[in-house]
Amino acid sequence: MRIEGEFTIYNALQIRDGLLEHLASSDGIEVDLGGVTEMDTAGFQLLLAAKREGARLGKAVRYVSHSQAALEVIDLYNMATHFGDPLLISARP
C-alpha cells in the first residue's frame, strides 16, 4: 500500500479505512510512505494505531520509503526506534 499526498486530519479516516482493509485481507502489510508530502499528528497517530492493530492480530505492519515529511514527524516525536522499521535518510544537497 502506498500513501500519496497529504497524510493529515483531512484524509485520516479514508487512509485509516484503507490500512485496516489491507491488514484484514493479508498476513501483514508494507506501507510505502514515499509519496507523503505532508503529515500531521493525525497521520502519525494512524501509523501508531496500525502498528498496534497489526501486533494485536499477529500481523506485521512495516513502513518503508519514508518521505522527508514522514521522517520529520517521526523525528519530532522521537519514535524512529519504536516503529522498528529501517529509516533511509536521503542526502540533502
Domain assignment present for residue 88? The answer is no
pLDDT tens figures, 31-82 = 999 999 999 999 999 999 999 999 999 999 999 999 999 999 988 988 887 7
Q: Flag whether 73 is in a domain.
A: yes
> Looking up cell 493525525, which residue turns up?
42
Task: Identify the pLDDT of residue 26.
Answer: 94
Count: domains in the chain: 1
User: Is residue 57 one of the residues assigned to a domain?
Assistant: yes
Q: Is 91 among the domain residues?
A: no
Residue 92 lies in a domain: no
pTM for this entry: 0.83
- pLDDT for residue 78: 85
- 34 domain residue, yes or no: yes
Distances (CA, A) of 53 to 48, 71, 76: 9, 22, 23
Determine, yes or no, domain membership for 66: yes
In CATH, what number is assigned to the domain containing residue 29?
3.30.750.24
